[in-house]
């Protein structure tokens, strides 16, 4: 465990013991029981003034503050769905509908690296009203997934299966039935970036490349360019997924359940608020259909994507 990871763990344990945060053990990676979600305030429909007034990030509980950054503050998530769940929030109030900025890419990636190479870590950003964001104050989340170095999220496995993958090229994964873009990061460039400016420049170049590719896909699927989206980043890749709506509906034993899906859903982790929701999820035949509900199904009229998806075991260059 890195020195940074030990520092975060110590802060987390202290805040948990003092009850300054609420933590729940997860059942497994794919389906996660997180009762804390039911206690979160819903601020999506508030005005900007009321959002700013109610933001917990402007005067944060000191027990949750990990460190001060240049333009951001790093906090433990009060409603932790897993240990050491971090938030990187803007010091001044900015809206969660604003796009991610280069300095935020830098702080997020640096936090991933600070957790250490032996611990898989993912950063994500829920952008827009349909992205699954539960707090209106702009923040990026960073989650160390597991202390076991052999553990990886399912998305990482799919990324690794891309045939003849080339660094810097933008791909779609054929096994995913919804619109998305993913790009591999060059570890040689990342290691060679000795200062903040060069690392920020590289990360921004990669991000704006896939952002342009996502906009192209939105045009291909006749969607507005201001569509909400989810952003995910590991030390190996970046991914963007445009969103059509926030919640998916599932049926079980004659009941309907509405599930709010955020970025983590697209990494393979679906959160639920109760045992009933968890059982309903476990009874579903196809969890990918849930993600397709809230994402954007591939357009049958987008000929080049149809061609790419015919190759079931490869991912084609967009």
Give the catalytic positions in this structure: 139
Distance CA 63, CA 204 (A): 32
CA atoms 235, 85, 28, 250: torsion sign = negative
- For 130-168, b/e burial (b = at least 16 CB within 10 A) is bbbbbbbbbbbbbbbbbeeeeebbebbebbeebeebeee
Question: Taking Cα atoms as reference points, which of 299, 297, 229 lies closest to residue 265?
Answer: 229
Residue 240 is inside which H or E element, if any?
Answer: strand 237-242
Question: Taking Cα atoms as reference points, which of 246, 243, 236, 245 lies closest to residue 217?
Answer: 243
Number of Cβ atoms within 10 Å of the Cβ of 59: 7
Largest CA distance in the chain: 58
Distance CA 70, CA 52 (A): 20
């Amino acid at each position: 465990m890195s020195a940074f990871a030990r520092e975060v763990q110590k802060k987390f344990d202290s805040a948990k013991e003092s009850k300054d945060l609420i933590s729940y053990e997860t059942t497994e990676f794919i389906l996660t029981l997180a009762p804390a979600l039911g206690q979160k305030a819903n601020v999506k429909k508030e005005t900007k003034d009321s959002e700013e007034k109610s933001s917990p990030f402007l005067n944060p509980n000191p027990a949750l503050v990990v460190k001060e950054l240049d333009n951001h503050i790093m906090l433990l998530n009060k409603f932790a769905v897993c240990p050491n769940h971090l938030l990187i929030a803007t010091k001044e109030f900015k809206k969660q509908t604003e796009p991610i900025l280069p300095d935020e890419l830098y702080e997020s990636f640096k936090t991933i690296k600070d957790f250490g190479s032996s611990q898989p870590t993912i950063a994500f950003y829920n952008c827009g009203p349909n992205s699954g964001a539960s707090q209106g104050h702009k923040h990026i989340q960073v989650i160390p997934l597991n202390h076991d170095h052999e553990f990886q999220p399912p998305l990482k496995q799919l990324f690794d299966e891309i045939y003849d993958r080339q660094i810097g090229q933008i791909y779609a994964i054929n096994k995913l039935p919804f619109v998305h873009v993913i790009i591999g990061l060059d570890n040689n460039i990342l290691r060679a970036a000795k200062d903040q400016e060069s690392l920020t420049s590289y990360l921004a170049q990669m991000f704006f490349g896939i952002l342009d590719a996502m906009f192209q896909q939105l045009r291909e699927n006749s969607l507005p360019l201001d569509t909400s989206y989810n952003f995910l980043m590991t030390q190996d890749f970046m991914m963007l997924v445009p969103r059509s709506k926030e919640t998916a509906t599932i049926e079980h034993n004659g009941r309907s359940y509405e599930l709010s899906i955020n970025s983590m859903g697209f990494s393979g982790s679906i959160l639920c608020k109760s045992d009933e929701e968890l059982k309903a999820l476990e009874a579903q035949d196809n969890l990918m259909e849930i993600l397709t509900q809230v994402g954007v199904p591939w357009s049958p009229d987008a000929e080049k994507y149809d061609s790419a998806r015919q190759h079931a075991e490869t991912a084609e260059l967009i």
